[in-house]
Amino acid sequence: MEIAHTRNFCIIAHVDHGKTTLSDRLLEHTNTVAQRVLTDQHLDSMDLERERGITIKSHPVTMLYPSKNGTTYKLNLMDTPGHVDFSYEVSRSLAACEGALLLIDSAQGVEAQTVANAHLAFGQNLKVIPVINKIDLPGANLDLCLSQLEDILTIPAEEAILASGKAGIGIEEILEAVVERVPPPRWSDHAHTRALVFDSLYDSYRGVIAYVRVFSGEVKPGDAMLLMSNGNKSEVKEVGIFTPKMEKAQKLAAGDVGYLVSNIKDTSEIKTGDTITLAQRPATEMLPGYQEVRPMVFCGLYPVDSSDYEKLKAAMGRLRLNDAAFVFASESSVALGFGFRCGFLGLLHMEIIQERIRREHDVDIISTYPSVVYHVVTDDGALREVDNPVNLPDPGAVREIREPTIKAAIHIPNESMGDIFALIMEKRGTIDHTDTLDANRIMLTCTLPLNEILVDFNDRLKSITRGYGSMDYELGEYRQAELVKMEILINAEPVDAFASIVHREKAEGKGRELCGRLAEIIPPQMFKVAIQAAIGGKIIARDNVKEMRKDVTAKCYGGDISRKRKLLDKQKEGKKKMKQFGRVSIPSDAFIKVLKTN
């Protein structure tokens, strides 16, 4: 097929605005998937995606569409995630496209993620086609959506297509708009073969399978390919397209989206965002990929059964292959044994990775409290990056600690404004300015410490706004803050698994909460055991583990009180002596309970 008849586009939108349902209708309309085989959310192949109703990985598919002008077009579609944690998936899909369908929910209007994804598409010079989806809903407000399209996104309202993915309305118009408005594949006249790796996965039989968009030249089995980032060479074994199953092809030509199997067997050799060229006539400059993603949230992952360490390591290696944002390195803890320090893009990303390790690789794991990367300036002026509280230098040697902040755009209903202001203040945030979106909603632009939004911010935002609030954020600058390392001492010994970096004002409250929880969970000991929260050498909170107490006076019936007192004093002396030499054995399930409730 001529390159002029190929169109590469993706679907971008806020979470839950109907991207995957619309892609189902496109597959159905173009007869790419037979009606008897088609399922709801057909492109969401992971169990986790179906359960949560969200898209986690972007899914490519090639469709053939006979247009009204009598020409058959090859349409390469990518269904992308909507959640803020997976925006890197959106950026890699956009890098492989020339156009994008921007979906707007007719009942919700323009949301935080809609704005962020639209700007990503504009930044890559893609042709954006606005689609007002779910127009069959009783609560649809088309006038509001069209005015927001012009006011917030500066896209002319007459360009919008009215559609419903569920009812199949407007599908023909969308396909015709893709054919007419999306330009043919760019950079196809380059002298050398260049293909962008936008995703990859590991197959236990075939090794590494790279998902590629060929920009110029062609790739076929038997070619010697070269990875431009590291200079590695290997032979192409198989190429093919997605329909949406993998289907073998004789070659991948300029403009095609497909997969490529080579004799690369090691997961770390092929990078997402890399450019593939031919070893005989290599290209000199790489394709402009997206920026390499940097993890923002870190936590320790440990196998509950220490014999699963190697199994966990293998599982992480495979997940790392098709998730460029996930990083890990070995570490050990006195309390939890050998494990890994892992980096993620956000809390949902962390949750998904942990769930995939449990399900797909059958490893039971426990995670430590999540933290972020701090910049620590020591007395000698050196700057250190610290992602683990255990590695924080001694307070006496620290000049200042800087924490990462985020620039957040929060869309909320007007009536929730007071409560959201209070939440932002509680999280040590500042509101930079507010914009009125329409009669019912406003957008707050604010700066927040990343550490404060990790655990419960999104849940509380949804709960205060009764589900109508949405947030998009990007990493801001590092700012100095009054941060301290809080340690938990059990019987005067620090337990590294519970160490955390907290703001000085909040340290006492968090210390009390953690000590109280530990006191409930740790089983009773033979002698009184103190659980203390400490900053440096100063104790800021304390609780006690319950004592086992044998009733040594049970056999004394009546008689002189001094007999009972003598037995009690003897017991007290024994416990005092035991406390000098005794150690507290904390069962591993106590760590698991505390860290899981965290």
593 is in an annotated binding site: no
18 marked as binding residue: yes
Sign for the pseudo-dihedral over CA of 417, 419, 420, 426: positive
How far, CA to CA in Å, does 113 sit from each of 84, 127, 264, 450?
7, 18, 36, 18
Contact 90, 55 (CB under 8 A): no
Phi-psi region of 456 (alpha: psi -120 to 50; beta: other; left: phi over 0): alpha
Q: Are 373 and 296 in contact (CB under 8 A)?
A: yes
- Picking from 300, 309, 322, 324, the residue whose alpha carbon sits closest to that of residue 361 is 309
Nearest to 161 by CA among 174, 145, 143: 174
Instruction: Please check if 57 is assigned to a binding site.
Output: no
Q: Which helix (H) or strand (E) holds 565?
A: helix 561-581
CB 570 within 8 A of CB 584: no
Structure tokens at 14: 């806020």
Residues with Cβ < 8 Å from 152, sequence gap 6 or more?
A: 110, 115, 437
Residue 265: partners with Cβ closer than 8 Å, 6 or more residues away: 207, 208
Known binder of ligand: residue 119? no
528 close to 579: Cβ distance less than 8 angstroms:
yes
Residue 339 known to bind ligand: no
- Residue 183: DSSP 8-state: P
CA separation for the pair 364, 301 (Å, rounded): 10
134 is in an annotated binding site: yes
- For every residue of 292-303, DSSP letters joined together read PP---EEEEEEE
CA distance 92 to 309: 32
Is 564 annotated as belonging to a binding site? no
Query: Angle between the 112-123 and 87-95 helix axes, to the nearest 10 degrees?
Result: 30
For residue 135, say whether it is annotated as part of any ligand binding site.
Answer: yes
3-state secondary structure of 224: strand
At 40 the three-state DSSP class reads coil
- How many angstroms separate the CA atoms of 59 and 340, rounded? 29
Q: In one letter, which amino acid is 308? A: D
Q: Is 16 marked as a binding-site residue?
A: yes
Q: What is the rounded CA–CA span in Å between residue 157 and residue 149? A: 6
Residue 269: partners with Cβ closer than 8 Å, 6 or more residues away: 208, 227, 230, 232
> What one-character DSSP code corresponds to residue 290?
P
How far, in Å, CA of 379 to CA of 400, rounded?
9
Q: What angle do CA 330, 334, 335 make, to 5 degrees?
A: 105
The strand pairing partners of 200, in sequence order, are: 210
Query: Binding-site residues for GTP, please?
Result: 16-21, 133-136
Residue list for the binding site: 16-21, 133-136
